[in-house]
Amino acid sequence: MTPLTIAIQAGGKSSRMGTDKSFVPFLGRPMIEVVRERVAGLGDELIIVTNKPDDYAYLGLPMFGDDYPDTGPLGGIYTAVNHARHDRTLVVACDMPWLNRPLLEYMVGLREAADVVVPRWDKFPEPLHAIYSKACLEPMREKLEAGMLKITAFYGRVSLRFVEREEIARFDPEGRSFVNVNTPDELAAQQE
C-alpha cells in the first residue's frame, strides 16, 4: 500500500465558539490533542494546516499555512494535499473529537480505490473526514482560482469512492465520527 499523510485542519475561524476550537477542553484535554491521539500512527506522516503556527508549536508537528488564504475548508484541503509528502492524505477537522479509529482504518485500507475516498452519511459527503490523492490538486486549484469554494465542487473531475452508510454503520452506527463541535452548547452536549 502507498504511504499515507494525515492532516489535521486547524484553520477555522471558530466564530460560533467564541474562542479557538482546537484548544477548547474536551473531556479534560484540548480538542486538538484528542483528535491527534485518534489519528496517531494511522499514517506515515502527521501534519497540521493552520495559519497560527505559534499556537500549535508545542505539538511538535510540521505545520503549513493556507496556500490560498481565506478560501475556507477547500483551501485547507488543498494546502494539506499539496504539502503532504505522500500521494494520499487523510484529512480530518480539529473539531471532530469522536473520530472512530476502526472506521478510519477501514478507509485507509481503501485509499487506492479512487482519488477521493469519502464517507457519505445522510446522503451528504463528509469531505473533512476523507482521503485525497495528489490527482485532486489541479481540479481543486481550478475551483479555488475561480472562487468556487464549495468543497465538493471539484468532485466531478476525479474518481470517487463513497463509503456508504451501511459500511460506516459497521464501525460507527450513530455516525458520531462526523459530529463537529461548533458552539459552547454543542461542546457541553458532547461531553455529557
The pLDDT of 36-64, averaged and rounded, is: 95
- Whether 142 has a pLDDT exceeding 70, the answer reads yes
Look up the domain containing 142 and give its range. 4-190
| Furthest-apart CA atoms within the chain: distance in Å | 43
What integer is the mean pLDDT of 48-63?
94
Q: What is the CATH number of the domain that holds 38?
A: 3.90.550.10
Task: Return d(Cα 187, Cα 183) in angstroms, integer.
Answer: 6
**Which long-range contacts link 20-27 to residues 24+ away (Cβ below 8 Å)?**
20/52, 20/55, 21/94, 21/95, 21/181, 21/182, 22/55, 22/56, 22/94, 22/95, 23/55, 24/181, 24/187, 26/97, 26/181, 26/187, 26/190, 26/191, 27/97, 27/191
The answer to whether 10 and 77 are in contact (CB under 8 A) is: no
Buried/exposed code over 17-53 (b: 16+ C-beta within 10 A; e: otherwise): beebbbbbebeeebbbbbbbebbeebbebbbbbbeee
Which pLDDT score, from 0 to 100, does residue 171 have? 98
pLDDT score of 26: 78
Alpha carbon distance 62, 115 (integer Å): 24
pLDDT tens for 76-132 read 999 999 999 999 999 999 989 999 999 999 999 999 999 999 999 988 999 999 999
Integer CA distances (angstroms), 110 to 7, 86, 182, in order: 17, 16, 29
For residue 93, give the 3-state DSSP assignment: strand
Q: What is the pLDDT of residues 147-164, one digit of tens each?
A: 999 999 999 999 999 999
Number of domains comprising the chain: 1
Q: pLDDT-derived band of residue 17, with 50, 70 and 90 as boundaries?
A: very low
Does the pLDDT at position 18 exceed 80? no
Which pLDDT value is given to residue 184? 56
Cα–Cα distance for residue pair 119/167, rounded to 1 Å: 9
What confidence score (pLDDT) does residue 149 get?
96
pLDDT at position 188, please? Answer: 64
